[in-house]
Amino acid sequence: MSTRRLRAELIIGTHPVLGVKTAYVLPVIPDNAPYMVREGLARRRITAMTGQCPCGAVMDVGTPVPGEVASIAVEHERGCPAITTRLAKAVRRWMR
């Protein structure tokens, strides 16, 4: 039985850009994951909670409509382990 799995946790906080109470569903960083998976997930968590990634990327929420889900975009710097395609590839490799 493999212990390689991802879990998520619910965190209530204040959105760093919108300033409103927000429910976050964020990945728990697995201790047994390789560096690129742990670092990518950690940076995703940091970006969600602070509005900025350690690579320098800043969260862009566009023009939110009250009562609707905001469209959030983050353009990570080249080489950042939090880039969606890079992180997904690292997770797939680890989960094999």
For the chain, domain boundaries: 7-95
User: How many DSSP H helices and E strands does the chain contain?
Assistant: 2, 2
Give one DSSP letter per residue of 5-16, joined into a string.
Answer: --EEEEEEEE-T
For residue range 61-92, list pLDDT tens digits in order.
Answer: 877 677 777 678 899 999 999 999 999 999 99
Report the alpha-carbon distance of residue 5 to residue 28 in Å, rounded: 10
Q: Are 82 and 55 within 8 A, CB to CB?
A: yes
pTM to 2 decimal places: 0.86
